[in-house]
Structure formats: C-alpha cells, structure tokens
Amino acid sequence: MFVKLENVTKTFNEVVAVDQLSLEINKGQILCLLGPSGCGKTTTLKSIGGFLRIDGGRIIIDGEDITNMPPEMRPTSTVFQSYALFPHMTVLQNVIYGLKFKGYSRKEAIKKGEEYLEIVGLLPYRNRNVQQLSGGQQQRVALARALVVTPKVLLLDEPLSNLDAKLRVKMREEIKDIQSKLGITMIFVTHDQEEALHIADVIAVMNEGKLEQLGTPREIYCNPKSKFVLDFIGNSNVIEENSGAISFVRPEEIIMDRHEGNICGKIVKKTFSGPYISYVVQTDNNILNVQAQNTGNEEFEMGEYVYLTFKERHIHLKKHSSV
C-alpha cells in the first residue's frame, strides 16, 4: 500500500479527536475523508501533513515511516481551505514560492511554474496579482503551488468549501482531471457526501474520531456497514423488521404507480427539484420518501393514493450495527 495509517491517535486536552485510525490506499488513488464536523477528518489530514504531532500510531508513505518528520521534510503538499496565498505576490510568484527551498534556480523555477499554470489553465494570468482573481482561479493557483513541488501525496482540506455550488461542481471535475493526468495520490477532506461520491476512488467515513467504513463510493452507498453510514450517505427509507433487523430502500429505488404495487399510500408532500420530483407517501406502517425522474409527463398530485413497489435490491443491517 502506498499510504498506510496504523492506529493513528490524536488527543486534545484529553478529548480523543482521532481514535486508533487505520487505513490504506494505493498509489494514484483519491481518498476522501468524509464525515460531519468534529469527526476527526481534518485532524487526520493535518497529522499526515505533519502540522500536528500524533500521540500514537504510525504514518507510512511509499514504504517510509514519516511519523516523526517535520512538515517540510514530508513527501506531501497541502491545499488549504483558505488557499493561504500571498496577497502581495503575482500568480507565478505564488506558484514557484516553494521551489526556492528545493534548490531550483530562478530560471528553472519559472519554467516549472509556467508548466503547472498551463495544467490548471492559468498561464495567461501568471503576472496578475492573486487578489485580482476570482475564488475559482485562486483555488487553481493554490492547487498549482501544491503540485509544482511534485509531492508523493497531495492533501486537500475542504478546498472547494468557499466556492458557490456551480463552481464547486466545475472545480471538482477539474481536480479529478488533473489527478488523472498526473497520476498523483490525493487525500481529500470534505463533509459533502455528493462531493465525496463523485470525486473519490475510496471513501473513509469517519465518526467521533473512528473509522466507520472504508470502501469505494458504490460500496459505501449501496452496502453501508453501520446505521451511521446509512444515515450519513444519501437519503434512505429505514424500515425496522419484526426480527430486529433494519432494511432500507433508497428513494430512487421505489416505483410509484396509480394502479398496481405492493404497498398503498397517500401522497402528503411533493417537492420539485429540477430533474427530479420528490414525494412523501404515508402508508399504514411507514412514511416513505420517493424520488421520481421529472420526465415532463403527468405528475402525481398531493392527496392522491398510489401504489409502491420496492426494486429487488434490499440491504439489511443488524440493529445497532457498526463496522
């Protein structure tokens, strides 16, 4: 494994922020550390980058134990949430700043800096002051500055959180394209489940400092191993069985029909959201969320009685289950 965390633990004033976290990822993968605020994901990232000293465990990158290395000696580079650009410098000056500590001549640094500005699409802006750039452009500058020092692992701490929704989608596409082009290993912190599902090769869902589940986006979404992961990833209809087990069905996995189905219910709420229409259906035993594609055809109406059929895939968890 290219990146390996072994029982990593970090405490703050007796509060355990990261609790014996162990995980592994392969070279060239994007790992998303995903979870709610305070779950330990940013602490984990800062520990990998060397900005926090861990209290126990080991951090290994490419076979080398970096646990006690200072940040500047680690084969990592970080894109911070605030971008942390130098406001008095030009775009190019920001990008090549770290190269002067790597032994590059100014001529070599400028050449390499321009290469990476080309990669992120900002070469024409190389002589602009960073304060003249938009939020998305500043994010690209921060990305180029982190990449130009050719780290083995690129760390990204919620780098898209300051962007509006449309630009976030655009930038996550660009980050994924750049990662694919360079083949670099990335560890990406986010609390946005949609962002993680879209950008990651592997997702580590964290809760209260512990790893709830590690897997591909499809595994995490389709086969959650705990009630927490089920509740945190996507929307779901949770049904407790008489046996004490829990089954669930995603809103998009329910077929709604006026004439036939396994369950009858009444539409008590309807929400239009562009390509989808969300319905809340009250049945005898449950309140179910149903998501239907907006095809432009006749819609179901409030107060209408409908029939529901669950698609074949059902996933069961034990009550109170964890990893």
Query: Domain residues of the chain, as ranges?
Result: 3-228, 237-318
Domain 3-228 has CATH 3.40.50.300: yes
Residue 25, number of CB atoms within 10 A of its CB = 21
Contact 294, 203 (CB under 8 A): no
Contact 319, 246 (CB under 8 A): yes
Indicate if the pLDDT at residue 235 is higher than 90: no
| pLDDT level of residue 162 (50, 70, 90 thresholds) | confident
Tell me the residue type at 229: V
Dist CA 129 CA 50 (whole Å): 30
Convert the pLDDT of each residue in 90-149 to its tens digit. 999 999 998 988 889 999 999 999 999 999 999 999 999 999 999 889 989 999 999 999
User: Pick from 169, 151, 152: which is nearest to 160 by CA?
Assistant: 169
Convert the pLDDT of each residue in 139-154 to its tens digit. 899 999 999 999 999 9
Contact 90, 123 (CB under 8 A): no
Q: What pLDDT, on the 0 to 100 scale, is given for residue 149? A: 93
Look up the pTM and report it. Answer: 0.88
220 exposed, middle or buried (CB, 10 Å; 0-12, 13-18, 19+)?
A: buried
Q: Which CATH superfamily is domain 237-318 in?
A: Nucleic acid-binding proteins (2.40.50.140)
Indicate if the pLDDT at residue 17 is higher than 60: yes
| pLDDT level of residue 323 (50, 70, 90 thresholds) | very low
CA distances from 90 to 6, 56, 133 (A): 41, 41, 10
Classify 179 as helix, strand or coil.
helix
Between 163 and 270, name the one with better pLDDT: 270
